[in-house]
DNA sequence: TTGAAAGCGCTAACAA
DNA sequence: TTGTTAGCGCTTTCAA
């Protein structure tokens, strides 16, 4: 920058102002400086720039893993949004490890101005942890935590899915998820009544959010003799595993069992049969989370906010009423 | 840091040395400083640290998109490797846009010390561009470009796939890919002979690396009346589209047509039928690319290097010989 | 083995 | 409208 200033015959301050497009610089001066910058191929040093501002220009995006259509889409959206704001996104696959999630929360590395964090392992017990930098949470259900939260409400999405299957005349709709995801759908402890008990039998817990777990869970459900004619899978991976299991058990989709996933379109359109889904608006999530994070970084101190992401039901072959 | 120095009764230099584990510091002093650091919860400011070193600690990883199992896996691997080296990875989905690829090559943003770049749109014409920072290329075939290249050789992988199908007695193996990917498999222009001509009919060009394009290409191949009993799809997305198309055309897999993809395991195991694949060692790619990039950043100036990534053939249902 | 002090490249008061 | 100058938090000579 000094070189530029000297070559253009101005002070570094003027160069700085031109580069940042601030201050009152005479047009002729600006042009001269611009030309010199061009000529010398000058590029501002981001580190130096940040030394003053106390900020690094880096946002952390922490997700359990990238090998999930939903998360990949989310990551792409966040990156795009952040980039248009001139910020760099450091992706951090946590693998669903609570330790890693805590590290992000505390901003152990210290390299980020703030983080967008999809909490999976950590629940409300994370409340004890003190965030080392502003944090916005991404989740599938609201948590009682002192952070802004952008929620693609799994319970509400599941309800829509169930409602769709019911409208197709399916009475015995099983719900497949992990324990955690399932909890909002379980009848309250001690609830009486045969209907409730029967429903409970249709809640299938997979031990992970993977295709293999989805396969295993549905396989044993089918083996168990509890009849079902509808299946809602909380996650694409589970849904694909489920489709596979149903096929191996010679249960036709959608004739015998209609299947719908809570997840992501792109993944689903080319399975066989193509999978109906309930999809959250990923772009909207990214924008909201990003906007809130920037506000917090800028010093906003209001109470934790909460945003429900809109979603859509997309019908494909797996729920197309036969006939 | 000044605070720590004062509190510990030493100079900032000593603190700096302790933090970085360099220099000759007496054990007792080191301990005292460590304790003070702990006590004050001091964290070094990365921006300031970089001011001296002229480096930003950021590596760019540019991939066409994240919504591909292979690329997601690659990204995860690179991030992990880079992180263990204390560096942050800025992910840059280029969407296969040549403009974006050029920007990365030139390091327009100036925020990265170097880039790992999966070139898709830009070919050898990129040779004219001057890299703004060290670059390592990731690709499916070697390019005549003055950059280090880590290549998961699509041609070699395809040959292995074809060999497998042949060993199952399949004589008419179609190859599905984009024009670009297909080019190494086309008979040389003007080659004579009926055999060659027939082979040419079994090269199917999809107009994009998507499931939809794979579907369309295989659909019209099947419609075209050219018989085939084996199919190699250059990419998971194409393979899934192909499976779908074959099903719709009532061609049984693997009985009528054996199918194998060049791609990524995780995606493939739960399709139906599960897809056999030829898989490059993603972790190996990441490590090699990262290592070379760091060497270049450190000033290594040798001639462009070239590394062939090892790969494995994984058999699943789609190529299991019937019987 | 340690300290003092000079920058790294930039921004921002304060002056002119 | 522009220049001077003092830092931002750290690393690193040069001395002690």
H or E segment at B245?
A: helix B236-248
Q: Is nucleic acid strand D under 7 Å from A20's C-beta?
A: no
Q: What is the dihedral of CA B99, B100, B106, B107, to 10 degrees?
A: 160
pLDDT band at B162 (very low <50, low <70, confident <90, very high): very high
Residue numbers in A near B271 (CB within 8 A): 240, 271-272
Contact between B171 and B147 (Cβ < 8 Å): no
CA of A2 to C1' of D4 (A): 14
Quick one: tokens of B143? 């390019």
CA distance B311 to B279: 5
CA distance B228 to B256: 9
CA distance A40 to A4: 7
Which nucleotide has the least CA–C1' distance to A24?
D1
**pLDDT score of B183 more than 90:** no
pLDDT band at B268 (very low <50, low <70, confident <90, very high): low
CA B191, distance to chain mean position in Å, is: 33
Quick one: tokens of B310? 């090892």
A55 or B224, which is more confident: B224
**pLDDT score of B114 more than 80:** yes
Q: What is the pLDDT of residue B172?
A: 93
pLDDT band at B200 (very low <50, low <70, confident <90, very high): low
Q: Could you tell me the CA-to-CA distances from A74 to A25, A263, A272, B77 in Å, in that order?
A: 41, 12, 25, 19
Residue numbers in B near A56 (CB within 8 A): 46-47
Quick one: tokens of A1? 């920058």
- A167: burial class by Cβ within 10 Å (0-12, 13-18, 19+)? exposed
Q: Could you tell me the CA-to-CA distances from A199 to A195, A230, A255, A256, B42 in Å, in that order?
A: 6, 12, 21, 19, 54
CA-nearest of B112, B66, B93 to A80 is B93
Q: What is the pLDDT of residue B53?
A: 79
Q: Is nucleic acid strand C under 7 Å from A191's C-beta?
A: no
Q: What is the pLDDT of residue B192?
A: 52
Q: What is the pLDDT of residue B322?
A: 63
- Find which of B65, B86, B88, B103 to mutate to test the A interface (most A CBs within 10 Å of its CB): B88
Q: What is the pLDDT of residue A303?
A: 96
CA distance A164 to A170: 9
Angle at alpha carbon of residue A175, lines to A170 and A177, rounded to 5°? 160
Contact between A151 and A307 (Cβ < 8 Å): yes
CA distance B81 to A307: 35
Q: What is the pLDDT of residue B273?
A: 83
Q: B169: phi > 0 → left, psi -120 to 50 → alpha, else beta; which?
A: left
pLDDT-flagged residues of chain A (< 70)? 186-201, 265-270, 322-323
Quick one: tokens of B18? 């302790």
**pLDDT score of B121 more than 80:** no
Q: Please tell me the least confidently modeled range out of B5-14, B55-64, B187-196.
A: B187-196
CA distance B176 to B162: 12
Mean pLDDT of B125-140: 84
CB atoms within 10 A of CB B189: 5
Q: What is the pLDDT of residue B126?
A: 74
Q: In the predicted model, what is the mean pLDDT of chain B?
A: 87
Mean pLDDT of B108-114: 82
**Contact between B272 and A247 using a beta-carbon 8 Å cutoff:** yes
**pLDDT score of B208 more than 90:** no
CA distance A295 to A194: 50
Assess A252–B contact: CB distance below 8 Å, yes or no.
no
Residue numbers in A near B110 (CB within 8 A): 43-46
Q: What is the pLDDT of residue A186?
A: 64
Q: What is the pLDDT of residue A124?
A: 77
pLDDT band at B65 (very low <50, low <70, confident <90, very high): confident
**pLDDT score of B218 more than 80:** yes
Angle at alpha carbon of residue A116, lines to B112 and B83, rounded to 5°? 40
- A42: burial class by Cβ within 10 Å (0-12, 13-18, 19+)? middle
Q: Could you tell me the CA-to-CA distances from A290 to A279, A297, A307 in Å, in that order?
A: 20, 10, 12
**Contact between A244 and B91 using a beta-carbon 8 Å cutoff:** no
Q: Is nucleic acid strand C under 7 Å from B125's C-beta?
A: no
Mean pLDDT of B34-42: 91
**pLDDT score of B108 more than 60:** yes
Pairing of strands A230-233, A173-178: parallel
**pLDDT score of B237 more than 70:** yes
Q: Is nucleic acid strand D under 7 Å from A14's C-beta?
A: yes
Q: Is nucleic acid strand C under 7 Å from A44's C-beta?
A: yes
Sign of torsion over alpha carbons A110, A114, A120, A125: positive
CA distance B229 to B195: 16
Q: Could you tell me the CA-to-CA distances from B208 to A265, B21, B164, B193 in Å, in that order?
A: 18, 51, 26, 30
CA distance A186 to A179: 10
pLDDT band at B83 (very low <50, low <70, confident <90, very high): confident
CA of B11 to C1' of C3 (A): 6
Q: B21: phi > 0 → left, psi -120 to 50 → alpha, else beta; which?
A: left
H or E segment at B7?
A: helix B2-8
Q: What is the pLDDT of residue B195?
A: 55
Helix (H, G, I), strand (E, B) or coil at B250: coil
Output Rg (C-alpha) for chain B, integer angstroms. 25
**pLDDT score of B197 more than 70:** no
Mean pLDDT of B74-99: 90
CA-nearest of B280, B201, B185 to B235 is B280
Q: What is the pLDDT of residue A187?
A: 56
């Amino acid at each position: 920058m000094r070189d530029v200033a000297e070559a253009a015959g101005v002070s570094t301050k003027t160069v700085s102002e031109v580069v940042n497009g601030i201050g009152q610089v005479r047009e002729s001066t600006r042009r001269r400086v611009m030309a010199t910058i061009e000529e010398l191929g000058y590029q501002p040093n981001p580190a130096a720039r940040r030394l003053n501002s106390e900020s690094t220009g880096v946002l952390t995006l922490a997700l359990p893993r990238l090998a999930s259509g939903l998360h990949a889409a989310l990551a792409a959206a966040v990156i795009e949004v952040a980039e248009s704001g001139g910020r760099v996104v450091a992706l951090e696959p946590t693998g669903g490890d609570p330790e890693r999630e805590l590290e992000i929360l505390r901003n152990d590395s210290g390299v980020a101005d703030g983080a967008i964090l999809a909490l999976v392992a950590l629940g409300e017990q994370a409340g004890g942890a003190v965030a080392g930098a502003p944090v916005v949470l991404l989740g599938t259900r609201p948590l009682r935590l002192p952070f802004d939260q952008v929620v693609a409400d799994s319970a509400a999405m599941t309800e829509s899915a169930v409602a769709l299957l019911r409208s197709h005349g399916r009475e015995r709709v099983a719900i497949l998820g992990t324990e955690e995801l399932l909890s909002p759908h379980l009848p309250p402890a001690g609830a009486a009544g045969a209907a409730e008990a029967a429903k409970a039998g249709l809640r299938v817990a997979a031990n992970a959010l993977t295709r293999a777990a989805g396969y295993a869970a549905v396989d044993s459900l089918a083996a168990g003799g509890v009849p079902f004619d509808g299946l809602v899978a909380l996650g694409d991976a589970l849904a694909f595993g489920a489709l596979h299991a149903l096929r191996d058990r010679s249960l036709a989709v959608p004739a015998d069992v209609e299947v719908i996933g809570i997840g992501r379109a792109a993944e689903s359109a080319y399975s066989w049969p193509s999978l109906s889904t309930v999809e959250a608006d990923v772009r909207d999530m990214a924008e909201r989370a990003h906007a809130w994070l920037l506000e917090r970084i800028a010093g906003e101190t209001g109470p934790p906010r909460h945003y429900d992401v809109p979603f859509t039901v997309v019908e494909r072959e797996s729920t197309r009423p036969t006939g």
